[in-house]
Chain A
Amino acid sequence: MAHDRVHLNVGGKHFVTSRTTLANAGRGSMLAAVIDENWQLVPDAASNELFIDRNPAYFTVLLDLLRTGELHVPPGMLEKPLYREAEYYGILDHVKAARKGPLNGNRLDCVASISGRATGDGTAIRASPDGGCCVAHGSMVHVYDWLMEEQTPLTLDYVNVNDVGFLSSNRVVICTGERENGAGGMASFNTRTGKIEHKFQVVHDGESKNFTAGALASSDKHVYASCRGRSYEYGVGTWDQITGQQASFLYEGPGRPLGDACKMQWLPRTNLLLVANLFPSSDHSFITLLDSRTKGKVWSWTDAALRGTADEKIVMDTVAMEECSTVCVVNQFDNLGFIDMRANNQCVRWSYRYQPSKISEAEERFYSKLACSGSQLFSSKNDSVYVFCSPDWDAAKGVQTARLRRKEGGAISDISVGGDRLFVLHNEEDVFDVWETPGSSQIVDIY
């Protein structure tokens, strides 16, 4: 068994471990490569050790992680150097997995509250696939990596930002209004360098046109955005993510709902694109699902027929819960509604959560925002986020199972789910909260 034993000298401290323990790190890691047979190990003749020039304190913690699968962080140890060391050894994923579990709305801890330096109110927050996020402030977008370290702020020629979204952990797309001189529109940035990668163009008759990009969504290959231009650039554009070239454009005349859409969502299971045009950007709420290939409307819902009735309900936000085949909506009284997306011409099934009369008119209000993760629905109301869990087959059967609230921050203006985290953007101060489910093997709370 001596063959299995490995003697390491990390920064002067002696460690004895086994090849099998180091192999737990995975072939793509430095620790596995260090014992690979390609590298004929020549230990120091005298000490019979392999030397690694790193801090032994962190190595102790990380070696234990490999041995036990659990992360024990001694009191007083800083998290950032630990992550840096883990990155050096190539086992950062192990640390992340041990620290953060899959998002579960009923077991959420607020792990950070980040205050920004921006002067204006944050208007929107978006989660990145690896747990980072970005916040749009007027004409700026502040980007935070998964350690909540702020990256270079992004602007697209200082035009007001309409929507922003991540293509991958280090690429974002920003949609803005147009400018006379061809500025504005839509572009992707590298968040690490803060540099622009592509400017997405709408080309008509071989000529690129000025346009205002509204809502945004992305599949694994394409970026979709609702576009408004002077003449023909009205509708939904599709671009290739890698090349930035326009792949197709679904034209609709001015005044038609698609170009004015204020919310879009990509549904990966069914390859459908949800496009919604809601109050206040239009008088009539309109939600449709487009087939990504044929660009045909396969499903749609509108409240045009219901407008002006006594207990008028205006849809303020929507999110499609693909797993439940349901489109969820929320109205001005924070009531949740559910529309079956398996058949056309469906009615909204409202769940009467709050009495409309209780809302006071005087107070400045932020309407409820929606986000979902699997069959869990998150809905903001005033200064809290409510979690609803529902059976897969019917989201309308969902029940409220948790309420997330922080003392500071005030009313909530936007929420976003991604990278196993929930981001909550407050209005009154420039602050957002990060909520996550603790990993099963994390013992010491490092915050």
Chain B
Amino acid sequence: MNPAKKKNFKIEPFKHKVEMDPKYAEKTWKILEDAIHEIYNHNASGLSFEELYRNAYNMVLHKYGEKLYSGVVQTMTQHLREIAKIIEGAQGGLFLEELDVKWREHNKSLQMIRDILMYMDRTFVNNFNKTPVHELGLNLWRDHIVRSPQIRDRLLNTLLDLVRRERTGEVINRGLMRNITKMLVELGTNVYQEDFERPFLDAASDFYRLESQQLIETSDCPDYLRKAEKRLNEEIERVAHYLDSKSEPKITQVVEREVIGNRMRLLVEMENSGLISMLIDDKYDDLGRMYNLFRRISTGLQTMRELMTAHLRETGRQLVMDPERLKDPVEFVQRLLDEKDKYDRIIQQSFHNDKMFQNALNSSFEYFINLNIRSPEFISLFVDDKLRKGLKGASEEDVELVLDKVMMLFRYLQEKDVFEKYYKQHLAKRLLSGRTVSDDAERSLIVKLKTECGYQFTSKLEGMFTDMKTSRDTMQGFNATGAGAEGNEGPTLTVQVLTTGSWPTQSGARCNMPTEILAMCDKFKMYYLSTHTGRRLTWQTNMGTADLKATFGDGNKHELNVSTYQMCILCLFNQADRLSYREIEQATDIPAPDLKRSLQSLACVKGKNVLRKEPMSKDISEDDTFVFNDKFSSKFYKVKISTVVAQKESEPEKQETRQKVEEDRKPQIEAAIVRIMKSRRLLDHNNIISEVTKQLQARFMPNPAVIKKRIESLIEREFLERDRMDRKLYRYLA
């Protein structure tokens, strides 16, 4: 036998058997076919499983697998065609129920048919790569029932109509819906998707496009959002009840797109109810809802953030630029803090502490606080106010809270060195006048500044505290020598020795002190220099205070608390009752602006006018004459006559401070340039500018023009040179 033939006629041996009973296959198939009919007609009780199984087994064994398989396909198809007719004939609402009932019956029949044909499934189907019986039954159901032209559209329309009715508030049979969708899923995910899910999503899209259009015309923003949220939850619930769980992201996406995404701009910008007015009115619930809904859209939160930032910047700009508010620095800073608190609460309560929103808030504050160049001064003044009196009696926690808030504002400042300058001035005044509320609070704030800006930033501030302490020790030593507290009649002297450099001193503060004071001063000077060699003492008369005992007409005695300058002026009136401005100026040698201010506070403040001025007016002129006010009276024994100091700096002072700050910045910028050039050797202009800015921005934002000037100065002093080939490059000269 040649090999090719052998391959083709493997079946041969069985031909003999078939010839013995040619009707064997027909007979056996007839039995099985009848059984399948009976199964479909719910009349299986008379059937013997063993007999049917054995018959199917024999057919496969005797190579009639193909006949058996095609017979089954044919018989099942025939039954399904009949079933299709019955379902098609179902009236109206009964259509779905009929389909459901028939589907369950088919499943049961299929199970039984599969049982009979189990052996065929395992051998014939496997060997010849056919579709297994169960899958075959599902495929036939799909092709002859679900996708039959008479049923397909009707089924889809019925399902969509039910969903639509449920959306408009009607109650539908959810159990039936679930059975039908489950059937579609069982027939294959693509059947569910193509025959139901896709049209369902399209219908939802149309429905919500229309609804949201009507809604947005009639509702305000919070109302709209409430309804949108409700719709979204309804759809999620619908999926849970009777759709495939994989549909959830798809349907929510449709609702998100139609109801929120496409209306986003309109919603947030809705007048009198949009995002801005929610922010203004602290509508935590509405804001939270908006956040949760918008979070679902890719650009949703960004839209909210942008609008919030724009609003914050605008209100912030108004806040810091409003000339009315600039009058009271404490109020100004308090407003900033309140604004910050308000938005912190919103972000915490409504926005889940979203980092992106926090960042937007911070950058907005940084933006508008630095719009006003007086912000550093005002913040320092706010601290000053709090530490002088505002925090009196407050608990430690409260103090910490206020200080932390101040630190937060401080962080926003770009010109931190300006703040330092003012802070030093204000701290000096507090320390010297002994009017700080609590040393602990002062120190706590300095520690905070130190952690924020480093050791260098606070070293001088800490020096001031050290000076205060050593001064107390020195005074104790001085008094112990007996030189300080001699005799009850003489004046008592308290000296605070300040280290030059740590304190914001003004050189050129001079005045002629009364002789008795001068003597005391000399004694102290001798004592101090005898204990500390190689030091030089300069009297800062502009910063001192004095307590004077004065007797007025009718024997009225008062203790007057005055500044050193005022003391000098008043002591002149021990010898004379009437002095002209020029006489006073000559005798005391106090600088004119200080003198005027001192006189003003002695003569022009009601209730504290120990001097009378002629002629009477608010301002001091150089032709005025001053008379001892014999009639002065006060219900207090102690009278504090404070110098009229503008709490805020006046315009020229401001200029002066500014100039000082600029002056201080020069060496810092130069140091930064040299540091950078030393490591880089060769760098172009733009890169130097950006590196210097990077290094210094913790303290202030250096102006590029200033940096350029510093570079030029360094070139003059031969630290740097321009490259000969490329003028834009700078070279470091070691």
Q: Which residues of A contact B (CB under 8 A)?
A: 28-30, 33-34, 36, 38-40, 42, 50-53, 87-88, 90, 152-153, 155, 170, 190, 192-194
Contact = CB atoms under 8 A, between A and B. Distances in A.
Contacts of B54: 53
Given A39-B44, A39-B47, A155-B3, A190 B122 contact: no
Interface stretch (B107-115, B279-287, B301-309): B107-115
Contact of B45 (A28, A30, A40, A88): A40
Interface in B118-134: 118-119, 122-123, 126-129
A194 B45 contact: no
B49 interface: yes
B50 interface: yes
Contacts of B7: 152-153, 155, 194
B57 interface: yes
Contacts of A88: 57, 119
A42 B48 CA distance: 8
Contacts of B126: 170
Contacts of B118: 28-30, 33, 90
B50 A34 contact: yes
29 contacts: A28-B118, A29-B118, A30-B53, A30-B119, A33-B49, A34-B49, A38-B112, A38-B115, A39-B44, A39-B112, A39-B115, A40-B45, A42-B45, A42-B46, A50-B50, A53-B50, A53-B54, A90-B119, A153-B6, A153-B7, A155-B3, A170-B126, A170-B127, A190-B128, A190-B129, A192-B127, A193-B128, A194-B7, A194-B10
A90 B45 CA distance: 24
Interface in B53-69: 53-54, 57
Contacts of B119: 30, 87-88, 90
Nearest to B126: A170
A40 B122 CA distance: 24
B616 to A, nearest CB: 98
A90 to B, nearest CB: 6
Contact of B49 (A28, A39, A87, A153): A39
A38 B127 contact: no
Contacts of B10: 152, 193-194
B678 to A, nearest CB: 43
A52 B48 CA distance: 10
B115 A36 contact: yes
Contacts of A193: 10, 127-128
B28 to A, nearest CB: 14
A38 B50 contact: no
For the complex of A and B, the 5 pairs showing the least CB-CB separation, nearest first, are A33-B115, A192-B127, A39-B49, A40-B45, A38-B112
A90 B119 CA distance: 7
A155 B118 CA distance: 33
**Chain B at the A interface: mostly helix, strand, loop or mixed?**
helix
Nearest to A34: B49
Interface range on chain B (Cβ under 8 Å from partner): 20 to 34
A231 B715 CA distance: 72
Contacts of B46: 42
A87 B122 contact: yes
Interface string B72-114: 0000000000000000000000000000000000001001100
Contacts, number: 62
Contacts of A38: 44, 108, 111-112, 115
Nearest to B54: A53
A190 B50 contact: no
A154 B46 CA distance: 48
Contacts of B57: 88
A90 B115 contact: no
A90 B122 contact: yes
A427 B301 CA distance: 75
Interface of B: 3, 6-7, 10, 44-50, 53-54, 57, 108, 111-112, 115, 118-119, 122-123, 126-129
Point out which of B6, B45, B127 has the most chain A C-beta atoms below 10 A from its C-beta.
B127
Contacts of A153: 3, 6-7
A52 B57 CA distance: 13
Contacts of A34: 49-50, 53
Given A38-B115, A88-B57, 16 more contacts: A28-B118, A29-B118, A30-B118, A33-B115, A36-B115, A38-B44, A39-B112, A40-B44, A51-B50, A52-B50, A87-B119, A152-B6, A153-B6, A190-B127, A192-B127, A193-B127
B126 to A, nearest CB: 7
A33 B47 CA distance: 13
A242 to B, nearest CB: 9
Nearest to B115: A33
Nearest to A51: B50
A379 to B, nearest CB: 35
A40 B46 CA distance: 8
A30 B50 CA distance: 9
Contacts of B111: 38
Given A90-B122, A190-B127, A33 B53 contact: yes
A377 to B, nearest CB: 33
A36 B112 CA distance: 9
A51 B46 CA distance: 15
B2 to A, nearest CB: 12
Contacts of A50: 50
A312 to B, nearest CB: 44
A370 B308 CA distance: 70
Nearest to A195: B7
A373 to B, nearest CB: 25
B352 to A, nearest CB: 39
Contacts of B108: 38
Contacts of B47: 39
A29 B123 CA distance: 13
Point out which of B50, B108, B129 has the most chain A C-beta atoms below 10 A from its C-beta.
B50
A23 to B, nearest CB: 14
Nearest to B48: A42
A79 to B, nearest CB: 19
Nearest to A29: B118
Contacts of B50: 34, 50-53
B481 to A, nearest CB: 84
Nearest to A88: B57
Contacts of B49: 33-34, 36, 39
A138 to B, nearest CB: 12
A298 B126 CA distance: 38
Contacts of B128: 190, 192-193
A152 B9 CA distance: 10
A135 to B, nearest CB: 16
Nearest to B124: A192
Contacts of A28: 118
A33 B53 CA distance: 10
Contacts of A40: 44-45
A29 B115 CA distance: 8
A42 B49 CA distance: 10
A51 B695 CA distance: 96
Nearest to A50: B50
A202 B146 CA distance: 41
Contacts of A51: 50
B137 to A, nearest CB: 14
A87 to B, nearest CB: 7
A68 to B, nearest CB: 24
A57 B10 CA distance: 31
Nearest to A84: B61
Contacts of A29: 118
A50 B108 CA distance: 23
A446 B115 CA distance: 32
Nearest to B11: A193
Contacts of B115: 33, 36, 38-39
Nearest to B123: A87
B40 to A, nearest CB: 13
Contacts of A90: 118-119, 122
Contacts of A152: 6-7, 10
Nearest to B10: A152
B314 to A, nearest CB: 53
